[in-house]
Amino acid sequence: MQPPTLGHSSRDLLLDPAIRNWGVLPILVFVLCINLLRAYLTHLGKGNKPPEIDDLRRRQVLARADRLRANGNNIHKAGFEARKAWFVGKDEQEGALSEEGVPGAVNPMSNPMGMMEMVKGQAYFGMTQMGMMQFSEMFFAGFVLVKIPFALTASFKGMLQRGIELSTLDASYVSATSWMFLVAFGVKDLQRLFSFDDGPMKEEARVYALQAGGVPLGGGPPAPMGFDCAKMYSAAKGGLDMTRHRFALEDVEKRLLGDRYPTSLSATETFLTMETPTLRSSSLGVTGPTHTGVRHRSQTSNAKGK
């Protein structure tokens, strides 16, 4: 008598539950553990080499210049000009971006220690993949492990059914090696859930956040190689030179008040010709906007030459 089966169609093979206990689940657990181990090992093997201070300083200056160019419209013109002068230089004073002796393109070959680290990282990855393949071929050869839920053409048989020479077997039934590859690709999500709570995996979280959010955290991760400082400095300088500044809060009172913006002359005239408090009087040499953000009528008319 056939054992009772759960939702078992008559066309499917029935496999021995021992294969499930000793094949499918162990490979899953094994690959998951190998991935976690690899992640922790790469984290441990990173080392605590502090970044070079000159390099770091130049990167930060570049980041600040980029930020100024992008967000400069949010500060008024005097502030923007002051910052721009610090970067680009003005009237015989050299700016920060005109620094002498800035290194050009870094030749990756000239940094043997860095290269070794990258090669080591890749080697770990490749070695574990090969090791897992050998492992599954050695221990789980010759039988069908798993059925893929959708139909595949016969040409997939050569790839997915290594070691099983049955010409009439559905291509959906696959061997242990292909199950291992399936697991290796699909377990990344599960592994991420296991290792991102806290602790040593915060680094990985940053990398994933970078990929997902598309916005670099902080100042952006340090570029591994090929950081051409001189070229980027001159590009930033040219960009800042060409930036046109338009103060975003120019007419903010109009936007804020909308319909309530006073248009009747008498009210504005009275308001604007009021005496400003002594603290902000021009005897102190303060010529910036008043604390309300509204330009004094006399100031604007002077500026516009009316």
Partner 1 sequence: MMDPSMMQAQMAASTSNPESNDLSSRSQLFSPAVAHNAQIVEHVRGLMSIFAGAAAGVLGVTGIIQGACVFIIFHTLTSLGLLTKIKLTGKVSNYLPTKWYAFLVADAANHLLSFLLFWTMGYTLIHIY
294: which 2 tokens? Answer: 């509204």
Q: How far is the CB of 244 from partner 1 (least distance, A)?
A: 8
What does 44-95 look like in DSSP terms, one character per residue? HTT--PPPPHHHHHHHHHHHHHHHHHHHGGGS-HHHHHHHHHHHHEETTEE-
Binding mask 84-123 for partner 1 (x = CB under 8 A): ----------------------------------------
**Backbone angles phi and psi of 75, in degrees to 5:** -115, 155
By CB under 8 A, residue 250 contacts partner 1: yes
CA pair distance 278, 281, nearest whole angstrom: 5
Kindly tell me which of 106 and 152 has the beta carbon lying closer to partner 1. Answer: 152
- Residue 144 contacts residue 15 (beta carbons within 8 Å): yes
By CB under 8 A, residue 2 contacts partner 1: no
**Backbone angles phi and psi of 174, in degrees to 5:** -120, 165
- When binding is defined by CB under 8 A, the residue of 29, 116, 209, 223 that contacts partner 1 is 209
By CB under 8 A, residue 147 contacts partner 1: yes
Q: How far is the CB of 186 from partner 1 (least distance, A)?
A: 3
Burial of 124 (0-12, 13-18, 19+ CB in 10 A): middle
Select the span of 6-14, 45-53, 231-239, 262-270 touching partner 1 (CB under 8 A).
6-14
By CB under 8 A, residue 216 contacts partner 1: yes
Q: Shortest CA distance to 156 belongs to which of 144, 173, 176?
A: 173
Which residues bind to partner 1, rule: CB under 8 A? 6-9, 12-15, 17, 19-20, 24, 28, 66-67, 69-74, 145-151, 182-183, 185-190, 192-193, 196, 205-206, 208-210, 212-218, 243-244, 246, 248, 250
